[in-house]
A and B are shown apart, each in its own frame.
Chain A
């Protein structure tokens, strides 16, 4: 065991400067693009050509921009909530299920609760937020009451939510005029969120997401509630010492993050699909992709305004690859996975300085 050759040593880094954080993050993203490029090569495509198609088809194209925005809306809403949750060390990876529950409750209101037209959409939004919040609140309650790890409970609740949606659209909520398909009846015109003409960008939801990102940024850094959240998240021992009711903060936080995911579900069904449909078509994994969005934002809800469109771009670009290069859409999952992998790996370079010895 001779280590006299080339050696690498890690020296702890006291404080990573914002510049270093940015540099390391960009480097991690760059590496991810190189690695995914290797997958393209294995698929018989020139990676440069693939990236060119992805970029020109999205950034240099009006339709492409609309696609990016449409994809960014749920990522923004969920990502902001998750940023807050991760910051407080509540590892919610059940946003997918919370989105579905939001969609279920909103659809329930749309289909079965007779309301005056102007009240219908607000009621759907409220019901959706409530659905997501309760689904996440359940996991938080389990953690507080029985110390159930929320990573497992939120993950498992995803599958319950999926099965619930499938059960509903196969059974009690199945539409009257759908023939062989399984989905609910179509929502009435006034139950649909308005979109920009000719696109499926449901702008009220987008606006709501932007507003919530800014509001939560303010709450976190400028209010006593946010101060409490930060203490609980950054040092639970100190929270106990100071007598801060950690359970209450955690529960509130779970309700916020779940509620945001629920709102994303409302946006998807009331803005795009206009009926309750199969879980895989309803969401295409926004709840998981948003984990990357939140991770990239590093605890700052307002930064999600940048990171959500970035992942929106990846998703929209993946759609293009399916159409123009006939690649399987799951290439997007590989993208997301490799990006998250590189980001988590890059944490090392934020905590340590690497020195190469002789």
Chain B
């Protein structure tokens, strides 16, 4: 069978880096091709080239046996290449039908007239969507289905799914895979981008692995295995063992009793949460985003007031001041490392000193000492292997992994008693993820207690001693990690009883 889409020797250079270096790959009708690679391996560049956002410096793209030029997303769509973006690009206040009619609807009553078409496509592939629902009411999974329908409406033969499962619960991801199988059965080609090896193994027909801009391997499903793929991605073998033996529990560091708090929209966000966290323990909290995780962390970090209940840190009531909490040994690795954890326009040395800039040796008598900034920063950069061109480089120029290392280095510099780690490895590649995990484990051995909030079940299961699940502000558990199954966690995450 001839290939539907062929990339021949695609090379794309950016100043100082070759993002794609002679990449060739074929996509056949009716198959799922998984595109794997760490951050910076060149996946995004390749997708951008396919979707007409970048043009390759060298190489050719062939579609249905003919060379084509893709100069814009419009060209891509005309050729039958559709993109389901990682983060939906929909108008929240409009209905699904209105969104879908944008740009392709008939001039009169576009939204009404597109509805039958949408319903036919949706039914054909088992995509459950309500065309009349306003988009802001949809779950992430539903929004993604709308994006898929949009691509299909425009006649896509090749669908690129860019990290589609990063926002989904395990159950929603399963539903997505069912849709993908339907699409494959109908002869569509799917390019599936993911970090998560289990998913790739469960859905892909072939896996192509990129590393440093080059294709380092292309495996049929039968040849592929987790260790094999990981080794190709990282360039060395990776351990998938459970990373820790549960420690014997030390004294209680954090006591949370009947905690209630409201969200920034003043809605009840935490509804009587209680747990204990011990020295040397990692407590994992699972849950779909928006079920109270952010509010819980904000309360513990002194950023949100307590409505009812109590929180005690080492027996003392929690002072609601972030700076004092840091001095008491609370380290906070925030969810949003750009908007919260760093000042992107400030340089690496300054970002490493955000917590301590007003005390010696960084400052004396209100005057900063630039040399102390540099000396302290040089030590930290070495200790955490932060890859940065210089200490004076603005932190926004660093990769996600290195920005996270800056935050870790800063937050864990003292001897933290309690570490609030929120999605600490989100978007990081395997190498950086391993380093973050190692640092967290080291700190627990030195006596820190860790509250780990993550959407990555693998991560929670491999690091935590106990796991709890937050659903609509209520906590299930925590349970010893040996006593829970993935399925039970998935059910609790969606409010089902186990």
Contact = CB atoms under 8 A, between A and B. Distances in A.
A302 to B, nearest CB: 17
Interface in A281-333: none
A280 interface: no
Interface residues of A, number: 26
Contacts of B355: 242
Contacts of A242: 322-323, 354-355
Interface in B56-98: 71-72, 74
Contacts of A222: 367-368, 370
B416 to A, nearest CB: 16
Given A237-B340, A238-B341, A223 B368 contact: yes
A147 interface: no
A230 B324 CA distance: 21
B367 to A, nearest CB: 6
Contacts of A240: 303, 322, 340
B2 interface: no
Given A222-B368, A242-B355, A230 B71 contact: no
B55 A357 contact: yes
A42 interface: no
Given A15-B397, A237-B340, A243-B323, A224 B363 contact: yes
A244 B346 CA distance: 16
A238 B71 contact: no
Given A3-B72, A234-B346, A357-B71, A241 B303 contact: yes
A231 B366 contact: no
Contacts of B350: 227
B394 A15 contact: yes
A231 B347 CA distance: 12
Contact of A241 (B71, B322, B396): B322
A238 B339 CA distance: 6
A223 B366 CA distance: 5
Given A15-B394, A230-B346, A242-B323, A7 B340 contact: no
Interface string A233-254: 0110110111110000000000
B368 A7 contact: no
Contacts of B251: none
Contact of B343 (A1, A15, A235, A357): A235
Contact of A224 (B74, B301, B368, B394): B368
Contacts of A224: 357-358, 363, 366-368
B368 A234 contact: no
A225 interface: yes
Contact of A235 (B321, B332, B344, B368): B344
Interface string B318-332: 000111111000001
B368 A238 contact: no
Contacts of A234: 343-346
A4 interface: yes
A197 interface: no
If over half of A's interface residues share one DSSP class (helix, strand or loop), that class is named, otherwise mixed; here it is helix
Nearest to B322: A243
B287 interface: no
A187 B325 CA distance: 57
B334 interface: yes
A231 B346 CA distance: 8
Given A222-B367, A224-B358, A240-B303, A235 B322 contact: no
B340 A14 contact: no
Contact of A14 (B301, B324, B345, B397): B397
Interface string B354-390: 1101100001001110100000000000000000000
Given A241-B332, A242-B322, A231 B340 contact: no
B404 interface: no
Nearest to A4: B71
Contacts of B342: 235, 238
Contacts of B495: none
Contacts of A243: 302, 321-326
Given A224-B363, A234-B346, A357-B55, A241 B368 contact: no
Nearest to A218: B367
Given A3-B71, A357-B71, A225 B354 contact: no
B346 A241 contact: no
Given A224-B358, A243-B323, A237 B368 contact: no
Contacts of B366: 223-225
B368 A227 contact: yes
Interface of A: 1, 3-4, 7, 14-15, 221-228, 230-231, 234-235, 237-238, 240-244, 357
Given A3-B74, A225-B366, 12 more contacts: A4-B71, A224-B368, A227-B363, A228-B358, A230-B346, A234-B346, A235-B345, A237-B339, A237-B340, A242-B322, A243-B325, A244-B323
